[in-house]
Amino acid sequence: MKLNIETHGRTTLAIAEGRLDFGAAGGFQKQLEQELGGAALILDCAGLGYVSSAGLRAFLVIARAAQSAGVAFSLCALQPAVREVFDLSGFSRIITVHTDRATALAQAAQPSA
* Site for other proteins, rule CB under 8 A: 21-23, 50, 52-54, 56-57, 60-61, 63-64, 67, 80-81, 84-85, 88-90, 93-95
Q: How far is the CB of 6 from other proteins (least distance, A)?
A: 26
Nearer Cβ to other proteins (5/81): 81
Nearer Cβ to other proteins (39/85): 85
Nearer Cβ to other proteins (6/87): 87
Q: How far is the CB of 28 from other proteins (least distance, A)?
A: 15
Q: How far is the CB of 110 from other proteins (least distance, A)?
A: 21
Within 13 Å of residue 35, how many CA atoms lie on the same side as its CB?
Answer: 25
Question: How many CB atoms are closer than 10 A to CB 79?
Answer: 14
Pairwise CA distance, residues 51 & 107, whole Å: 25
Contact yes or no for 95/104 (Cβ under 8 A) = no
What Å distances lie between residue 73 and 22, 23, 105, CA to CA?
22, 23, 11
Q: How far is the CB of 71 from other proteins (least distance, A)?
A: 13
Name 32's Cβ contacts closer than 8 Å, sequence gap at least 6. Answer: 3, 14, 41, 43, 58, 62
Nearer Cβ to other proteins (5/94): 94
